[in-house]
Amino acid sequence: MSFGDPNNPYGPPQGQQPGYPPQTPPAQPGYGYPQQGAPQGQPQYGYPQAPPVPQGYGYGGGQMEMPGLMKTARVMLFITAGFQFLAGIVFGFLVGAVQDVSSGVGSGDETDGFAALGIGVAIFLVALGALSIFLGVKFKSGGSGIRITTIVYSSLLVLGSIVNIVGGGSGSATFGGIVSLAMSGIILAAMVNGQASTWFNRPRY
């Protein structure tokens, strides 16, 4: 029994019985659509992999960013420290110069007490500047103790500024008191704000 001419282009392909549908080669797994039963987690061809879900900001996913109001108060502390250092150094030089002049005219013994007081004030101003720097640096890692200390410190600065304004007449003490009052007032207002409570009481990991 003959199955046709093997050279006939319209006949069945070689190796295939007539009367049966043509067989197609099995599909290669991994291309196009994902195959059923494919191992989970293996990359499939045809569909891009979804990007990883980013971690949330704030707690757990990363460090909490310092609020803008806290940054402003921190900058004010550094500026205040600069003025305090400058005032202490200038005041100390002035006291020393006055004492030298007094000693030159023979009245140095009478002004020793004044010179000692002036040097003490200069050292006190420099110490305040160091405290301002310390508080500003600790804003980044300090807790509620730093906040309370800053509230007390800025309150004292406000009172001192008011005293300078009232007792300074219209001289440089009044101008310095106004500048100091403005900066210390900003620091105090920032420390009693709700953002300060959230920042200084934040959990630390």
Reported as half-sphere exposure (CB side, CA atoms, 13 A), residue 159 has a value of 6
What average pLDDT does range 50-59 have in this prediction? 46
155 in a structural domain: yes
Counting the structural domains of the chain, the total is 1
Cα–Cα dist 160/164, whole Å: 6
Q: Which domain holds residue 97?
A: 68-200
Cα–Cα dist 145/21, whole Å: 86
Share of the chain above pLDDT 90, in %: 36
pLDDT in tens, 173-188: 788 889 999 999 999 9
86 in a structural domain: yes
- Residue found by looking up tokens 């804003």 in the block: 139
pLDDT in tens, 68-104: 999 999 999 999 999 999 999 998 888 888 877 777 6
Cα–Cα dist 88/118, whole Å: 10
Is the pTM here over 0.85, yes or no? no
44 in a structural domain: no
pLDDT in tens, 132-174: 999 999 998 889 999 999 999 999 999 999 988 887 666 777 8
